[in-house]
Structure 1
């Protein structure tokens, strides 16, 4: 099997996908813009060939690279980056070279929030009222129809970027003034719940879920953006059956195959409201957080699925796994040394956040496991407690 990895070097933790694909006996071919000498040695060892392009965003240049690798190594079986930034380009390349996986037409339902909402409804999952906004008159109509407070997000956007919270007439006017009037927005009713959770996992080549999990955010992505809070989230030991029912129905409705998924929900009382479907793993180091929580290796698991083998099951009971960040510019009550000593039996790893994530999420990320919800809450408080 010939597998092309787009951007095999970045993000660094995703290099392990390439290593495990090669361990399955696949011919793994890389296309990236970093010089070959910059690649880590395990990545070099895993790649049969690396084609360096001047600009990975230049589609014509990347197409020529794929064509060359096709000519040299034969038909290409997979093209994948696992990265939000390259999803659309990956799909275009798959269509051009007749490769298995999501094509541009398949991405419409995962790119546009308005399209997602249609499929959430089809899956029988609760959603809040929403409306596409393309004009100033459309904005006024949406405000009148849905009512304040509202959240205004780009219909085709990622995370909390360019998001506005509209609570009163002044907020609506500010949005109108700052809006470029070209970006199509999606207005939806603001949900008062501060609890956001996920249904995440992986499907095989037939679309069957082979792994699923859930995590809670200690703070919403919007709060992280607005108030520069320290990011904390944690994988849960157990999943609410209702959340699993909703998540599985959504995965079936979207019909994606051999892909990771990351679906966000508001938790409201004993029910859930679907927010967003992401056609990829959760960002940053979250795959590593899943691995620690479930005592598995999703890099190996994904490679096994691509090779048509069974997904390797865990042999240990799940734990809570906390991922909590700190900022180098903040002053905390407890030093890193004190915390790592206190939680030495829980601590797994410290990661330096890439610059692309640091401003929003913090400079350093710590991962810790525990079987106890009480200790989990204590760890969140201890790592996040700021000095006066």
Structure 2
């Protein structure tokens, strides 16, 4: 079976998808925007072939020619995947052009566009914040008068805080949409904690793995204010969130894919659907999910890609937290103290890619413990400033 990985080198931990596919017997192919000698010996060794396309994001014909060359040398390609939001549209275009199974461009209308997501959430019985596409200044002002402030303006297609802006008055709104940017969505601001429902489905859409995380703040607030950011998983997913998440997976038709749903948790205990990403949750969350349950989701996905299903027995044994730090802050604990003296079950210190730093932190520590109280105390110590 030929499996094409798009940009297999980034993020760095995603090279484990190539290793897992190779171990399962796949013929692993790659296409990426870095030279083959930049991949590293381990990733090069896991792939049977690789084509370098310097500007494959913008020069799609070059990307298609690269895929054609791989098909000429190895035969039909059976799966294409990047697991990366940046490349999801390109993955879908490759599948459509070469008639490969999986998500196509038409599917992106419901799982990458904010308004399409809201329709699917509603079909799943999950409440959402009122929102509209901005077509005129009058329409936006009428919407504001109808639902009230604050409001969020954001692109219909975008991830996290990308392009998002909060407005609190009519004057701020009118200034923010002068001129109106194409495909701008106006949405009622919802006050609540952000929690997630994350996991993996098999070929038939059966949920093979599921978990949930809680964020310390919203992504927009983190990026705009350079907040210290942490998040951690629940060992037991709240019952209502679990039900909303499972119905959402079905409504979005997620098959043979990782998923990452974000919800607002209201003070009432109700959950509002925020958005979905049909790929693994970002940062080091793939590894955090693995460590939380002593499993290997890279291998689980590879088995599903090759065989359609995989029975995975697991127990979420640990709460695992990501704790980010900012370069400009002065902290009470230095690195050696964190690695040696936190008193939790384990601590990891992966290298943070600079691309992730605005959201995830300039430096990161991954902490794990079976007891949430111990983990929260450790997070507080890591974040404590002078």
Q: TM-score, normalised by structure 1?
A: 0.95
Aligned to 1:94: 95
SS at the partner of 1:159? coil
- Does the CA contact (< 8 Å) of 1:146 and 1:188 recur in 2? no
Counterpart in the other structure of 1:366: 365
Question: Paired residues, what number?
Answer: 384
1 CA distance for matches of 2:349 and 2:152?
Answer: 34
Q: Separation in 2 of the partners of 1:80 and 1:321?
A: 27
**1:147 alignment partner in structure 2:** 148
What's the counterpart of residue 230 of structure 2?
A: 232
Does residue 52 in structure 1 map to residue 56 in structure 2?
Answer: no
Rounded to whole Å, the distance in 1 between the matches of 2:329 and 2:282 is 23
Q: CA deviation at 1:344?
A: 5.4
* 8 Å CA contact retained: 1:4, 1:30: yes
Q: Show the counterpart of 1:202.
A: 200
Task: Kindly indicate whether the alpha-carbon contact (under 8 Å) linking 2:208 and 2:312 is maintained by their aligned counterparts in 1.
Answer: no
Tell me, which stretches of 5 or more residues in structure 2 are unaligned? none
- How far does residue 12 in structure 1 lie from its aligned partner after superposition? 0.9
Look up the match of 1:106.
107
Counterpart residue number, 1:8: 8
Structure 1: which 5+ runs fail to align? none
Counterpart-to-counterpart distance in 1, 2:112 and 2:309: 30
Aligned mates of 1:81, 1:309 — CA distance in 2: 18
1:46, CA displacement in angstroms? 0.7
3-state SS of 2:350 partner: strand
Whether the 8 Å CA contact 1:6–1:31 is kept in 2: the answer is yes
CA contact (8 A) 1:229 1:361 kept: no
Cα gap change, 1:264 to 1:316, in 2 (>3 Å): closer
Which residues of 2 match residues 108-257 of structure 1 at below 5 A? 108-177=109-178, 180-193=179-192, 195-257=193-255
Note the aligned Cα RMSD (angstroms). 1.5
Shift of 1:137: 2.4
For residue 295 of structure 1, what is the aligned residue in structure 2?
294
- 1:115 deviation in Å? 1.0
The offset of 1:345, in angstroms, is 4.5
Query: 1:231–1:362: 8 Å Cα contact kept in structure 2?
Result: yes
The whole-number CA distance in structure 2 between the counterparts of 1:174 and 1:362 is 31
